[in-house]
Each structure stands twice: as C-alpha cells, then as structure tokens.
Amino acid sequence: MNIAKVIVDVPASSINQTFDYLVPEKFQDILQTGMRVIVPFGPRKIMGFVVGKSSESSFDKLKEIVDVLDLIPALTPELLDLGKWLANETLSLYITALQAMLPQVMKAQYNKEIVRMTDSELSSEFENLFAGRDIIAYEEVEGSAISYYQLQKAVQDGDISIDYLVKSKITKKHVTMIKPARSPHLLEEAIYDLSKNAKKQLLLLQYFLEKPEAIAKQQLLKALKTTDSTVKALIDKGLLESFQMEVYRNPYDDDAFARTVALELTEEQTTAILPIKENISNEKHDVFLLHGVTGSGKTEVYLQSIQDVLDKGKEAIVLVPEISLTPQMVKRFKGRFGSNVAVMHSALSVGEKYDEWRRIQRKEVQVVVGARSAIFAPFENIGIIIIDEEHETSYKQEDQPRYHARDVAIHRGETHQCPVILGSATPTLESYARAQKGVYKLATLSKRTNEKAMPEVEIIDMRDELHAGNRTMFSRKLKTRVEQCIQRGEQIVLLLNRRGYSTFVMCRDCGHVKECPHCDIALTFHKNSSQLKCHYCSYEEPMPVECPECTSDLIRYFGTGTQKVEEALAKLIPEARVIRMDVDTTRRKGAHEKLLTQFANKEADILLGTQMIAKGLDFENVTLVGVLTADSMLHLPDFRSSEKTFQLLTQVSGRAGRHELSGEVIVQTYTPDHYSIELASNYNFNDFYLKEMAMRKTFQYPPYVFLALLTISHENKIKAVQTAQKIVQMLLKNIQSDSKVLGPTPSPIPRIKDRYRYQCMIKYKNEPDLRSYINKIMDIFKDEMRKEDLQITVDMQPYHLM
Ligand code: ADP
Ligand code: ZN
Ligand code: ZN
C-alpha cells in the first residue's frame, strides 16, 4: 500500500497528529513529503501537508488524497522538522506552524492555472490540453490523458509552469523571448538562401549570428526596427524560436543601487569579525552578540561575514525590524550583493512576496533581507543568520505560533552548523546576560567609525517649565533650539514617545471617557474623519457633540497624539515645515518611504513621529533630536518599560549628528532622575544593565525567571473567571515548589470584541515538563473550546503582557 501521512488544516485537532491517506495511482510517482495536498476530512475537503510516507497503516478503510497542490515540495525536510519543533516550543498546532513558514498566497488559495512556457511542439497530450491557448485552468488536467508524473516532468523541464492566482490576477509575469533555433553555421547557410528582398529577415539573422543569446521580443523589435511578422517568418522556417520567460516582479531596481566594496575594517571590527569568520570556515555554530554603539560599523561586519559565506557557496539570512526596512537599509545589502539579494517585508504586495520567496526556493539568490518571517526562508545550505537590532520586540510574533525569531534563528543555526549574530546598540537583558555567562560570545564595538562622539544629551525637567508658567508641550530650550536650527537650514527629528493614536475623548465636566461598547478600551479620536475608532475591533462612531453621561458640551479629545503636537507646533513656530509620521500617515503602501524621501530632500524642517522614526534613519542634515515625553512609556504595566525607554532614547539620540555636522539631543521628562533616562543620556549601557538586572532579580522577572502567560477568554464573564481559576488550581498541583502561578487577574484589556479576558502567569526557573502540563490542561478543556467557544491561548515568551 502507498500511504501518505498528512497534517490537516483543522485548527482543533490535537497537536502533531497525522492522518493516513491512500495515495491514488496517478499521484504515486510524484508525491513527496513537504507537498501540500487536498484530502477529504469529514464532509469537507481540506488542505494538508504530507509529512511522511509509509507502506502500511494501522487503520483500514482509508480515504484517498483528492489533489496534490505542489509539484515541487513547498517545505523542505528541514522546515518540516523545524515546524514540529516550533509547534512544541510555542504550544501551537503543527499545521499552524507549517503555514507560518509559507508566503500568504500559499496559505489558503487553491486556484491554480497552467501556463505554457514554450512555443516548441509539446507532446500531443499537452497540445490537446492547451488546444491553442497559453493559459488554462488547472482543473482541465483532471479530465485529460495527462498523468501527474508527466505534469511534474513538464514543470521540471520548463515546458509549463503552475501558477497560483492572486485575487484572480496571474501571479507571475511572463515575457516572450526569441532565440536562434539553429547553430551559427546553419544560420549562416540560411542567410545565403534568403531571397534578395528579405532584407529584414537578413538583419535579424545577422543579429543572432553576432549575439546568439535569447532576447525579449519587444526589445528585439525595437532595437532592429523590425516587425512581429518578420520574426514569425523566421520562426516558421525553424531558424528562430520563441519561448515564455517568467519575469519576477522585482520591487527594487537592482541597477539603481551603486555597488560598494568591502571597507578596510577598524581594529575593533577586525577583532569582532575574527571569531565569526572562524565559525564560518570551520562550519561551527556559535551565537555572537555584537554590541556596538550606533554608527560603530556593525553593518559592515555583517556584510563582510556574508561575503565569506557566499564565497563558500552558502546562503545568508538577515533579519531587520520591519520598520527599518527602509530603502536606506535595502541599499546597504543590494549595494554590496546586487541582485543576489531577496527582500521580504510587509510593504510588498502578496504577489511580490511570493516572487521573492520563489527566488529563494529556486536558489536564485543567496541572501535574504527581511522582517521576522524571513527566518523561514527555504534555503538549504545556510552559512550565517544575522539579527540586526536584536532587542526589537517585533521579532516576537503575537499570534499563533507565538515564536521569537531569535529562537528560530538559533535552532536553524544549530541545524546548519553556522554562526548566528545578534547585533544591537542596546541588547536585551536576556541576551546580554547570556553573553556575560559565556552562552553567547560577546563582541563589542565601542567607537563610532568616524571617531565622532555621540551627541550631547540634555535633560529638561518639565516640572520646572510648569512652575515657570510654560504650559505648552515644548520647553523653552527646545523651542529656541528648534528655531535656531531652522534658521541655520538644518533639520530636526522630534519624537513623541507614544503611539500616534492615543487621543481619547473625555468630558471635562464629569470625566466620562468614551469607550468601545465591545472592548474595555478608550476609543481614539481621528481628526480627519471626525470619528471615534476602536483599534481592537474597528468599531466606529461619530464624535459626540455632548457627553452621553451628563450632557455637558465640554466633551473634548485629550492626550498628546502626534496630531496634537503638530497643531501645537504650528502655533508655536509657524514657520516650521513639518512632516508627521505615525500609524495614520503611513497606512497607505509606500507612504512611509515617500515621507522619508521628502524629508531627505529637505522639503521639511521637522520630522515628527512616534517610535517608527527612531530606527535606522540616517539623515546628514539632522542636528537636533527632541524627545517630547521621555517618560510616557515608563508608567506602562510592563516590567520591560525601563528597558524599552532606555533603548528608545539611545536609538533616537543616535539619529543626530551622524555626519559632518555635530548633533544635540534634548530630552523632556517629568522624571529626570529615573535611571533609564539618566543613563541613556550618558550612553551608559553597562550601568543600566547592572541596575536593571538588580531590579529584575528583586522582583523576579526575566532573565532571572522564565514566564508563561495563559489567557482565557469567553463571552460569559463568569465562565471565563471560573475556567481561569480551575486552570490555576491545576497548574499549582503540577509545578515545582520554587515556581509561582500569579492570577487569575483580568487582562490589562479586560474585554475585547465582547469577550471577557482573564490571565494567569507562571514564573519559573526550571520546569522541564511545563509544556506537557499545559498541553494536558488544554486537552481537558478541548470540548469546551470546540463547542462552547472557550478560548485558551498560551504564550511561552510573553512580551506584551496584555
Ligand atoms: P551601525 O550599523 O553600527 O550603526 P554602520 O554600519 O551603519 O553602523 O556604520 C556607520 C558608518 O560607518 C557607515 O557610513 C559606514 O559606511 C561607515 N563604516 C563602517 N565601517 C567602516 C570602516 N571600517 N571604515 C570606514 N567607514 C566605515
Ligand atoms: Zn460628562
Ligand atoms: Zn472595540
């Protein structure tokens, strides 16, 4: 018997369970593990991954595989294993883990078509199938004489291609190419045989005698000022042939990047790169923490390490935070490695992402630079994995599977026996502690390559401003400095340390705050549409004219959103030209880049924005950085709030004076004595690390303990509480004596989309069986989860404690 073991796309089936299916005759020659298939499951037909094959099954009455979705496996054997590991680590379903590794378009869509890739005569079965057409629906194979094996072979030979439909558009683009069908001396003979007035044909043949390579038909017609019919005449004579070539939608014009060469490394860089290079040449796996101040040349270390990897014929994965995948960042990599680089990030269209993914799958590139999910790049011979700005929380996925890209990187690094580099100016406490213990190897770059000092940071106590009667959000000093800066023709970056949409609506008479009727969270005010919106469930309503509680008309919007700062700025310094960058102004595709280009072209004096302007930007003309509210993050209910504040202040300070002009940083705060603000202003990472570690030890937080967060939600509040209580009891019975279970408590946002949310947190040092306890608990509630819509989510590495 020919049996396939399939992981099916049923979100409720228990983890890692495979189902056996019979492989029908027609698929037997082609089916490989890692391919996606369609199988019957109950009354439905669903998608699944083949994860193994077998000649026997302990079940009788097996059902048959209905269809095979891939002719080339979508997942490599390594990725199948990685998926199993990922599912275990994050307590998610195997199917969810596998799907997380594939580009969007391959997750749900089953619509496919077959594209003819050549004009040469195909076998009669295929000619009958195409019947004169170039593209046909995939389903047409079903009724034809063609076997799947033939289909697979035709794909491998490049005669046809199977494409996924993206929103009913063809996923791939094709161009018609022309090339000689005969050897040069036969072409020469043909030239003698041409009739005298076939001048255009002569021109074409002479062209191909000189340049026998394939050329796009459009380009050929234009270059030789000839016509389609001339080309066709020569094709009919069998002298030329045409074929379809796939062109990738390349979101970047590779030729536009000026090529760079390796710089001579500084002493510090040389010391840092040496053990990495040794790792590469000895095919050894170590994790390196590259701790380097902004501008110390970390990227150059990455580039030269990657060069070594490429020289060995291996591949490189580089992760950068989504937000810093700016053209500036892409340029560094494309500049060094040209079209050998694929770029993967969320601003690409679904089709573009799919194309980039396939360039990787087909090994047409050796380097991928991408955001979090690029860690699953289907390379098979990885020589280095780099995570830039390793402290960024965007490397943690906040959805199932709740993985951290750093862990996946290290796992793949072990598998491929290659180095993993974590780079940052402000490493996480977790990573730095590991480096201190020698688990990671620490390399330090303490100087900027241009030998320039980091810009001076001045802390302004905003309480003094209030006492002096200044009620604006700009200190007198910041205002003066901004004005001076504009006069000198230099530019300014202003950071609002808070999300742009934090404007809420409150009644000045009774203090009533407008909340979402479905979620326990304040609605936010959007000025452009004059609407109140919920950012959790997208509920909206118009801005009320009077308070719904006390009917006062003194209902106003509050909070210092970027919009408000922009307005205040316009009043205070009317001559300033401001570009505002926040979630609202960057929602549209390409908007982010456009605003940055405008700023780089000096179309504005001030770049005003949230976190997203703190990273990776490098503008020559910026000499002043202002932080409006340094402490607004300090008061969030999150044990990492000091760390995040320190990181953000350090990052944003690095934006000033990176080039010839020297820079200045002004930090406004109501808590000037807080250690994270004080130490960030001195760029004193070491003291911050020591101080913060002491805090973590006292309050027992990572890296001294591990955390796991369980969130229980249900429409019925009592049901949610009771389930949470039961779970806490069960956990308490199982854990070690030095572990703790906290809760249940309402989640920081106690209700979202009409579901009540309770959480409990486990703090532990060593619980080797924790995952299996939690799995057992989940199993106990399995029926309630399925039938009563109870939800239990587990996060084994919580970052947002919400
Ligand atoms: P980081 O990634 O640590 O912030 P970068 O790699 O962006 O630092 O380097 C900062 C600047 O220094 C860049 O303009 C880069 O081209 C330059 N640079 C890096 N290494 C060298 C070197 N060895 N010699 C001269 N300039 C260098
Ligand atoms: Zn009121
Ligand atoms: Zn809501």
Q: What are phi and psi of 140, to 5 degrees?
A: -65, -20
Q: What domains sit in the chain, N to C, each tagged with a CATH number?
A: 3-107 (3.40.1440.60), 110-247 (no CATH), 257-445 (3.40.50.300), 456-501+560-696 (3.40.50.300), 706-795 (3.30.70.2690)
554 ligand 1 Cβ < 6 A: no
Could you tell me what percent of the chain has a pLDDT over 70? 92
On the CB side of 14, CA atoms within 13 Å amount to 12
In this structure, the strands spanning 755-764 and 706-714 are antiparallel
Does residue 475 surpass a pLDDT of 60?
yes
Least distant ligand from the CA of 535? 3
| SS3 at position 419 | coil
* Ligand 1: centre distance to CA 296 (Å): 6
The answer to whether 310 and 367 have CB atoms below 8 angstroms apart is yes
Q: Among 209-223, 266-280, 467-481, 773-787, which range has the highest average pLDDT?
A: 266-280
Give residue 33's pLDDT: 95
Identify the nearest ligand to the CA of 556 by its number. 2
pLDDT higher at 253 or 379: 379
Q: Taking 70 as the threshold, does the pLDDT of residue 172 lie above it? A: no
What stretch of H or E contains 578? strand 578-581
In the predicted structure, residue 526 carries a pLDDT above the cut 80 = no
Q: Is 760 annotated as a binding residue?
A: no
Mean pLDDT of all residues in 577-584: 83
Quick one: average pLDDT of 205-231? 85
Does 341 score more than 80 pLDDT?
yes
Question: Of the segments 127-131, 324-328, 419-423, 512-516, which one has the largest average pLDDT value?
Answer: 419-423
What pLDDT sits at residue 794?
A: 93
Most confident listed range (74-88, 440-454, 549-563, 610-624)? 74-88
pLDDT digits 0-9 by tens, 315-325: 999 999 876 55
Specify the residue with its C-alpha closest to ligand 1, atom 5: 297
Q: Of all protein residues, whose CA lies closest to atom 19 belonging to ligand 1?
A: 297
Is 418 annotated in some ligand binding site? no
Mean pLDDT, residues 124-153 taken together: 81
CA of 324 to the centre of ligand 2 (A): 43
The alpha carbon of 505 and the centre of ligand 2 are apart by a number of angstroms equal to 11
For residue 269, give the ligand 1 atom closest to its CA: 23
Confidence of residue 84 (pLDDT cuts 50, 70, 90): very high
Q: Give yes or no for residue 184 having a pLDDT over 90.
A: no
Distance (angstroms) between ligand 2 centre and the Cα of 522 equals: 15
| pLDDT computed for residue 615 by the predictor | 63
How many of the other CB atoms lie within 10 Å of CB of 310?
18
CB 539 within 8 A of CB 516: yes
| Alpha-carbon dihedral angle through residues 278, 283, 284, 287, given to the nearest 10 degrees | 80
On the question of pLDDT at 50 being above 90, the answer is yes
Position 482 pLDDT exceeds 60? yes
Q: How many CB atoms lie within 10 A of CB 282?
A: 10
Rg, the chain, Cα only:
30
Residue 501's pLDDT is: 44
Backbone dihedral angles phi then psi of residue 546, each to the nearest 5 degrees: -135, 160
**Contact residues for 487 (Cβ-Cβ < 8 A; gap 6+):** none
Could you tell me the pLDDT band of residue 376, with boundaries at 50, 70 and 90? very high
Q: Is 300 in the pocket of ligand 1 (CB under 6 A)?
A: yes
CA 566–ligand 3 middle distance (angstroms): 27
Q: Cα of 642 to ligand 2 centre, how many Å?
A: 35
Confidence of residue 170 (pLDDT cuts 50, 70, 90): very low
Choose which residue among 267, 298, 299 to substitute to test ligand 1 binding: the one with the highest number of ligand atoms within 8 A of its C-beta: 299
Q: What is the pLDDT of residues 415-441, one digit of tens each?
A: 999 999 999 999 999 999 999 999 999
The ligand that comes nearest to the alpha carbon of residue 302 is 1
From the CB of 585, is ligand 1 less than 6 Å away? no
Residue nearest to atom 18 of ligand 1 (CA): 297
Percentage of residues in the chain with pLDDT exceeding 90? Answer: 44
Listed residue (288, 266, 293) closest to 424, CA to CA:
293
Measured torsion, CA atoms of residues 732, 734, 737, 740, in degrees rounded to the nearest 10 = -40
How does strand 3-8 pair with strand 19-22?
A: antiparallel
Q: Ligand 1 in contact with 260 (CB < 6 A)?
A: no
Identify the bridge partners of residue 763 per DSSP, sorted by sequence position.
707, 740
**Whether the CB of 263 sits within 6 Å of ligand 1:** yes
Tell me which of 669 and 273 has the higher pLDDT. 273
- 297 or 350: which leads in pLDDT: 297
Verify whether ligand 1 is closer than 6 Å to residue 299 (CB atom). Answer: yes
402-406, 478-482, 632-636, 643-647: the lowest-pLDDT one: 632-636
SS3 call for 421:
strand
CA distance 107 to 100: 8
The mean pLDDT value of the chain amounts to: 87
Tell me, using a 6 A CB cutoff, whether residue 296 lines ligand 1. Answer: yes
pLDDT tens digits for range 732-776? 998 988 899 998 988 888 898 899 999 999 999 999 999 999 999
The predicted pLDDT at position 171 comes to 52
Ligand 1 pocket, mutate which of 300, 450, 454, 658 (most atoms under 8 A from CB)? 300
pLDDT at 531 over 90: no
CA of 507 to the centre of ligand 2 (A): 5
Q: How many angstroms separate the CA atoms of 207 and 240, rounded?
A: 12
**Does the annotation list 485 as a binding residue?**
no
Give the ligand with the smallest distance to the CA of 512.
2
> What pLDDT, on a 0 to 100 scale, did the predictor assign at position 637?
67
User: Distance, CA 580 to ligand 3 centroid (Å)?
Assistant: 26
d(CA 685, CA 561): 30
Q: Which atom of ligand 1 is nearest to the CA of 425?
A: 3
Answer whether 444 contacts ligand 1 (Cβ < 6 A).
Answer: no
CB burial readout 54-90, b (16+ within 10 A) else e? eeebeeeeeeebebbbbbebbbbebbbebbbbbbbbb
Instruction: Kindly give the distance from the C-alpha atom of residue 601 to the centroid of ligand 1, in angstroms, as a whole number.
Output: 22
Q: Look at residue 86 in the predicted model and tell me its pLDDT.
A: 96
Longest dimension (CA), the chain: 99
511 vs 25, higher pLDDT: 25
Quick one: pLDDT at residue 658? 65
Query: Does the beta carbon of 305 lie inside 6 Å of ligand 1?
Result: no
Task: State the distance from the centre of ligand 2 to the C-alpha of 207, rounded, in angstroms.
Answer: 82
Angle at 204 between CA 203 and CA 205, to 5 degrees: 95
Residues 6+ apart with CB under 8 A from 606: 482, 491, 492, 493, 494, 569, 576, 577, 578, 579
Task: Dihedral sign for Cα 155, 159, 165, 170, please.
Answer: positive
**506: which 2 tokens?**
């409150």
Output the CA 553–ligand 2 centroid distance in Å.
Answer: 8
Residue from 222, 133, 214, 224 nearest 176 by CA: 214
Q: Relative to the alpha carbon of 519, which ligand is closest?
A: 3
Point out the ligand 1 atom lying closest to the alpha carbon of residue 294.
Answer: 4
Q: From the alpha carbon of 293, which atom of ligand 1 is closest?
A: 3
Closest by CA to 654, choosing from 614, 600, 609, 605, is: 614
* The CA-based dihedral angle spanning residues 94, 98, 101, 103, taken in that order and rounded to the nearest 10 degrees: -130
* Tens-digit pLDDT profile for residues 255-314: 667 788 889 999 999 999 999 999 999 999 999 999 999 889 999 999 999 999 999 999
Residue with the smallest CA separation from ligand 1 atom 23 is: 265
- pLDDT bracket for residue 476 (50, 70, 90): very high
Give yes or no for residue 544 having a pLDDT over 80. Answer: yes
Beta carbon of 294 within 6 Å of any ligand 1 atom: yes
SS3 helix, strand, coil % of the chain, rounded to 5? 35, 25, 40
- Report residue 500's pLDDT band, with 50, 70 and 90 as the boundaries: very low
Mapped onto helix, strand or coil, the DSSP state of residue 542 is: strand
652 has a pLDDT exceeding 50: yes
The reported pLDDT for the residue numbered 767 is 94
Highest-confidence segment of 112-121, 311-320, 600-609 = 311-320
Any idea which ligand is nearest the CA of 295?
A: 1
48 lines ligand 1 (CB under 6 A): no
